[in-house]
Amino acid sequence: MATDTLTKPVIDGSIPKTKVFKNFIDGEWVESACGQTFEDRNPADTREVVATFQRSNKEDVDAAVDAAKAAFAKWRLVPAPRRAEMVFRAAEILIDRKEDHARDMTREMGKVLAETRGDVQEAIDAAYYNAGEGRRLFGPTVPSELPNKFAMAVRQPIGVCGMITPWNFPMAISSWKLLPAVVCGNTCVIKPAQDTPLSTFNLVRALTDAGIPKGVINVVTGYGPEAGTPLLEHTAVRAISFTGSSAVGKIIGTTSAKTFKHCSLELGGKNPMIVLDDANLELAIEGGLWGAFGTTGQRCTATSRIIVQKGVYRKFIDQFVARAKKIKVGNGLDETVEMGPAVNENQLKTDLKYIEIGKDEGAKMVTGGNRLDKGDYQHGWFLEPTVFIDVDPKMRIAQEEIFGPVVSIIPCDDLEDAIAIANGIEYGLSSSLYTKDVNKAFSAVRDLEAGITYINAPTIGAEVHLPFGGTKATGNGHREGGIGAIDFYTEWKSVYVDYSDKLQKAQIDRAE
């Protein structure tokens, strides 16, 4: 594979049109140690190679970690407000480049332009939010139990942070990790998903153009076991932030534990949307369609189960299915298209496998189920929006994450029954309830086992300044977004200053 064209950071705001990307280590563009590359193809038309990336291994990761370690010595001492100003500038740069980056993203992973614009916007929002945090990074100052003694806690950076990301929000998720990390004074090595490195490079380019010094952010591309594992095992990496499947998350968690790394896991979901008899049905149908088929169902927060109370069950299904049939599937670069392809052949195969499982389990498939591969669809990984009804909550299609445009509709008796069904899964990411009854709404907020609950909105639509993440098999208790990320990327140091000029013994010297 030719690797003669380089993509370099640009300072004039133009986007290089070159197609071969090298690893970005210590501010330099370098080939992988093994000299191999891999292709990133457009899932809507696999004849198009969007770009070629380095297939990296331990040697490349080691070089990136060395660079990050060296850069940390200086970066940690740059005042946080100054670090944050660079992140603020990156937001302004991203605004200028938003359309180009959205188009790159649609080409590399298929979601429609309106959504890829939203993905870039999320990185912009995260940049503004985290830039603001640079002037806060609050810690507690508390009264001491002893006289003439001062007590406070300050946030300190952790050191080198490793990041491993999925492909479905390729710029947004990279931004959730990189931006708080650098504002807090850490340095980073990121390994983006092999389907979507371009969007991570676009973000990193904005950050370097905004003044983030060399070595602070390093990008190493490649496959999980080859390029991800060395990051998990490296003793100089002090924190790992991973977003991806629960199966891989388990490996990440156990491997990171061996070297006592901080480890944040944001994993899968099987998100329920409950529709009660008193709901605004039109609103619930619109929300359900957006939640189930937005991003081709490839969101960790996708509405993959819709639990509908019996009084409106048939009416909901009739209207929901009629609307699902009309969704326009196609190449996301066409502004009239509502749903793009699956990200790759494997994901399409998984979707089709679960459709067969659903049929075998006895769920009723009322629309969809077929791969689209004729005419304009012939070179892509397209699937019809698929709806199963009368699904038993214990069926595999109602329990396991499919990550495709396949939704299960489940009948329920009342709110209590709905919540039991909603909670009866291993995951706990997002959840939603449609009702006009405020008492039911607040009961659901209290009782749904999930990191996020929406009322009168589908299970998708998180904003960057609130904690994002889930319970149970969706994670290990950390949160991205908002102050949760600042908590993850800092360590507390408690500071006691005794100005009494004598030895004072805590818990022992008590004036009775």
- Catalytic positions are 266, 300
Q: Are 127 and 87 in contact (CB under 8 A)?
A: yes
**Would you count residue 44 as binding ligand NAD (CB under 6 A)?**
no
Provide the 8-state DSSP code for 496.
E
Structure tokens at 113: 């332009």
Q: Does 251 bind ligand NAD (CB under 6 A)?
A: yes
**Residue 224 in the binding site for ligand NAD (CB under 6 A):** yes
Asked if 57 touches ligand NAD (CB under 6 A), the answer is no
| Nearest CB to ligand NAD, comparing residues 209 and 480 | 480
Contacts of ligand NAD in 460-489 (CB under 6 A): 474
Give the nearest distance from C-beta 234 to ligand NAD in angstroms. Answer: 12
* Structure token digits, residue 167: 């492909």
Does residue 168 touch ligand NAD according to CB under 6 A? Answer: yes
For the bound state, the minimum distance from the C-beta of residue 299 to ligand NAD, rounded and expressed in Å, comes to 7
Half-sphere exposure of 26 toward its Cβ, with a 13 Å CA cutoff? 13
Is residue 134 at the binding interface for ligand NAD, with CB under 6 A as the rule? no
**Pattern 293-322, ligand NAD, x by CB under 6 A:** -------x----------------------
Q: Is 43 in the site for ligand NAD (CB under 6 A)?
A: no
Told to check if 165 binds ligand NAD by CB under 6 A, we report yes
Does 30 bind ligand NAD (CB under 6 A)? Our answer is no
Q: Which of 80, 94, 163, 267 binds ligand NAD (CB under 6 A)?
A: 267
d(CA 386, CA 393): 17
The answer to whether residue 190 forms part of the interface with ligand NAD (CB under 6 A) is no
Return the residue of 245, 259, 280, 471 that touches ligand NAD, per CB under 6 A: 245
Q: By C-alpha distance, which of 452, 459, 443, 441 is closest to 484?
A: 452
* Minimum CB–partner distance for residue 225 and ligand NAD (Å): 5
Q: How far is the CB of 393 from ligand NAD (least distance, A)?
A: 20
Got the DSSP string for 282-339? HHHHHHHHHHHHGGGG-STT-EEEEEEEHHHHHHHHHHHHHHHHTPPBS-TTSTT--B
The phi, psi pair for 433, rounded to 5°, reads -140, 130
Determine if 132 is a binding residue for ligand NAD (CB under 6 A): no
Long-range contacts of 437-443 (CB under 8 A, 24+ apart): 437/276, 437/278, 440/276, 440/415, 443/415
Amino acid type, 57: N
Q: Which of 159, 166, 341, 369 touches ligand NAD by CB under 6 A?
A: 166
The nearest distance, CB 29 to ligand NAD, in angstroms, is 21
Distance of CA 101 to the CA centre of its chain: 17
40 belongs to the binding site for ligand NAD (CB under 6 A): no
Judge contact between 252 and 232, C-beta under 8 A.
Answer: yes
CB of 56 to ligand NAD, least distance (A): 11
Answer for the pair 177, 190: CB distance below 8 angstroms, yes or no: yes
Work out how close the CB of 11 gets to ligand NAD at its nearest, in angstroms, rounded to a whole number: 29
| Residue 319 · residue 281 · CB < 8 Å | yes
Pairing of strands 382-383, 364-367: unpaired
Residue at shortest CB range from ligand NAD: 224
Measured over the CA atoms of residue 230, residue 76, residue 179 and residue 219, the dihedral's sign is: negative
Residue ranges in contact with ligand NAD by CB under 6 A: 164-169, 191, 193-194, 223-225, 228-229, 232, 243-245, 248, 251, 266-269, 300, 401, 403, 429, 474
